[in-house]
């Protein structure tokens, strides 16, 4: 309704409620300028916040951005970053509503995303009940595989390996599945940012239930399998423990008919913690698993 | 409606619109840990964003915070910071709705504030018309005076000097005057964050008008006068060019009866730029003035 150029932006919130998520990305910790272009970083920074909004069952509507940038940052990098914000927002029909830029010794990116629930109840982390199924949609393991390839410095010379590296640089969250899951009656949902086992542990903890996973039910996508073969790694560890792909994990009552894009990978039972391979993962999640 | 602990917060937006402002504060640039406590920094970081929301004519409702913190930051500092966010929000009835914390080599604080227009039209920067008056409410010069005292390292041994230093550490924005000005029919408004001359220049530029200021109409508060005397400085320069006090500057049609808390300091005429002491300040604002 009123965008950049004033003290604040004015955004439409037709639902009477607004969903808000914020994250800070720090150069060297969340991205490296020698590994990712400004455009990639912009896409990724926007994606991880838009995905948080979708994980509540809302449709993302806009982002505002606070930037800290070094005096010697090439202007082209900043232009690319902005293009990345705009293009990632465009994939969900959202817009960049405003921002703030200041000097900093390293690149710091604060993104706040807003979204609209369209009359739906928000899907929190705490509604999983015994008997519900655990399902996932979106990519798992791409970002971890791509990061491992870059870290190892091996030649990225096949389409599959290039897709894994691209998955690290730029996630591809299944945004539309968030509102859809809310409409289907998801009892709990979150976006997989730290790793599936760790994040699904939050669902178990929030509801006081146990999640039992069937590791054979997870798909290992070809780019993840190819990277694992190249590096002699276990691809399922990336799938179960890798973060930053921003898949959506949710629980549903057993009578819900899920679209094919959701894979059932486990079930909710009485108890606590997360069980996979007959082993309890516990509160510390993937740290223990590794 | 739903606060910290999930992927995103859900906030009430009864107006059907939401006002959003974001800023990033960087340690060493916007605050120094040896000059300001965590509590002061929290108050200041919240204040500058809540003030942006008020400057649109909205009532601030909540903030979300993204933090980058060094591994060796004392936990007490972080607790104080959070207390500062909460207490500053409480002064306007707003709340801290959520946040994100990550590691960074220096303290980075991204604050996004949201607000509600309560059915009012937002007051932008662009509505000033020839014949309108220019008015200001809130403090001017305190933060600049306090900063100069700390920078000079002189003893701060009187109540007036202590108040100037406190004004640097913790602004005191006239939040309630924002919605009030909107109700009174303000034609343009902004919060004074960079310095009165520079910021009022944005109003002139946005509307294609000239602002003529009467320097004798500005009050020099006692703490500002005392600091100027201590340092042999010109207090009016701090009043006109100092930033970070987050006063509100606005223009009003000439028939509006302003409450006593607003001081008329100039008028809007045909032309461009800002005129003070018979000199044109121009687009580069206080840089030229100094």
CATH number, domain with residue B28: 3.30.1330.10
Helix-strand-coil split of chain A, %, nearest 5: 35, 25, 40
Would you call B113 and A20 a contact, using CB atoms and an 8 Å cutoff? no
Quick one: average pLDDT of B177-200?
Answer: 96
Would you call A99 and B19 a contact, using CB atoms and an 8 Å cutoff? no
On the question of pLDDT at B267 being above 60, the answer is yes
Please classify residue B277 by burial: count the beta carbons closer than 10 Å to its beta carbon, then call 0-12 exposed, 13-18 middle and 19+ buried: exposed
Quick one: average pLDDT of B2-17?
Answer: 86
Asked if residue B63 is part of any domain, the answer here is yes
Residues A164 and A260 in one domain: yes
Encoding tokens for residue B134? 């220019």
Residues B219 and B248 in one domain: yes
CA separation, residue A196 to residues A52, A192, A266, B220 (Å): 15, 6, 12, 60
CA atoms within 13 A on the CB side of A262: 23
Quick one: average pLDDT of B60-89?
Answer: 96
Helix A38-54 crosses helix A177-184 at what angle (to 10 degrees)?
10
Residues A246 and A144 in one domain: yes
Residues B112 and B144 in one domain: no
Select the residue from B3, B7, B95 to test the A interface by mutation, using most A Cβ atoms within 10 A. Answer: B7
Would you call B104 and A105 a contact, using CB atoms and an 8 Å cutoff? no
* Chain B CB contacts of A115 below 8 Å: 8
User: What is the span of the domain harbouring residue B247?
Assistant: 133-289
Residue A157 is assigned to a ligand binding site:
no
Q: How many CB pairs under 8 A join A and B?
A: 200
Residue A244 is assigned to a ligand binding site:
yes
Would you call B115 and A6 a contact, using CB atoms and an 8 Å cutoff? no
Residues A258 and A143 in one domain: yes
What pLDDT is attached to residue A282? 55
Measured between CA atoms, the residue of chain A closest to residue B3 is: A20
Answer with the residue of higher pLDDT: B69 or B288: B69
Number of domains in chain A: 2
Q: What does the pLDDT look like over B122-163, one tens digit per residue?
A: 999 999 999 999 999 999 999 999 999 999 999 999 999 999
Would you call A22 and B65 a contact, using CB atoms and an 8 Å cutoff? yes
Would you call B100 and A22 a contact, using CB atoms and an 8 Å cutoff? yes
Quick one: average pLDDT of B36-51?
Answer: 96
On the question of pLDDT at B23 being above 60, the answer is yes
Residues A283 and A170 in one domain: yes
Q: What is the CATH number of the domain that holds B240?
A: 3.90.650.10
Q: What does the pLDDT look like over A131-179, one tens digit per residue?
A: 999 999 999 999 999 999 999 999 999 999 999 999 999 999 999 999 9
Residues A142 and A98 in one domain: no
Asked if residue A93 is part of any domain, the answer here is yes
What pLDDT is attached to residue B282? 55
Quick one: average pLDDT of B170-187?
Answer: 97
CA distance A180 to chain B (A): 17
Asked if residue B256 is part of any domain, the answer here is yes
Asked if residue A142 is part of any domain, the answer here is yes
Residues A194 and A258 in one domain: yes
Residue B22 is assigned to a ligand binding site:
yes
Residues B72 and B152 in one domain: no
Residues B213 and B80 in one domain: no
Residues A88 and A178 in one domain: no
Picking from A116, A142, A173, the residue at the C-terminal end of a domain is: A116
Quick one: average pLDDT of A181-206?
Answer: 96
Asked if residue A5 is part of any domain, the answer here is no
What pLDDT is attached to residue B3? 67
Asked if residue B96 is part of any domain, the answer here is yes
Lowest mean per-residue pLDDT among A55-64, A97-106, B258-267: A97-106
Asked if residue A11 is part of any domain, the answer here is no
Q: How many CB atoms lie within 10 A of CB B117?
A: 23
Residues A201 and A154 in one domain: yes
Asked if residue B12 is part of any domain, the answer here is no
**Separation CA A265–CA A251 (nearest Å):** 10
What pLDDT is attached to residue A143? 96
With vertex at residue B181, the alpha carbon angle to CA B52 and CA B65, rounded to the nearest 5 degrees, is: 20
* Rg, Å, chain B Cα set: 19
């Amino acid at each position: 309704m009123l965008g950049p150029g004033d003290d604040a932006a004015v955004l439409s919130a037709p639902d009477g409620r607004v969903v808000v998520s914020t994250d800070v990305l720090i150069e060297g910790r969340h991205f490296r300028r020698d590994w990712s272009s400004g455009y990639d970083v912009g896409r990724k920074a926007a994606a991880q916040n838009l995905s948080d909004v979708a994980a509540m069952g809302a449709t993302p509507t806009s982002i505002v951005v606070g930037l800290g940038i070094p005096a010697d940052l090439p202007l082209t990098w900043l232009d690319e970053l902005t293009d990345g914000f705009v293009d990632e927002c465009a994939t969900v029909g959202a817009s960049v509503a405003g921002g703030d830029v200041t000097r900093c010794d390293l690149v710091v990116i604060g993104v706040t995303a807003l979204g609209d629930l369209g009359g739906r109840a928000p899907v929190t982390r705490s509604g999983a009940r015994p008997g519900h199924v655990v399902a996932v949609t979106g990519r798992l393991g791409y970002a971890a595989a791509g990061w491992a390839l870059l870290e190892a410095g091996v030649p990225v010379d096949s389409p599959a390996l290039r897709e894994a590296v691209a998955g690290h640089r730029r996630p591809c969250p299944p945004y539309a599945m968030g509102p859809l899951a809310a409409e289907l009656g998801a009892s709990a949902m979150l976006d997989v940012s730290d790793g599936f086992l760790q994040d699904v542990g939050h669902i178990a903890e929030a509801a006081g239930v146990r999640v039992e996973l069937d590791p054979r039910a997870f798909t290992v996508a070809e780019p993840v399998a190819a990277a694992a073969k190249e590096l002699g790694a276990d691809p399922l560890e990336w799938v179960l423990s890798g973060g930053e792909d921003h898949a959506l994990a949710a629980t549903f009552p057993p009578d819900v008919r899920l679209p094919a894009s959701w894979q059932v990978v486990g079930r909710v039972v009485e108890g606590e913690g997360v069980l996979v391979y007959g082993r309890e993962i516990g509160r510390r999640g993937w740290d223990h698993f590794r």
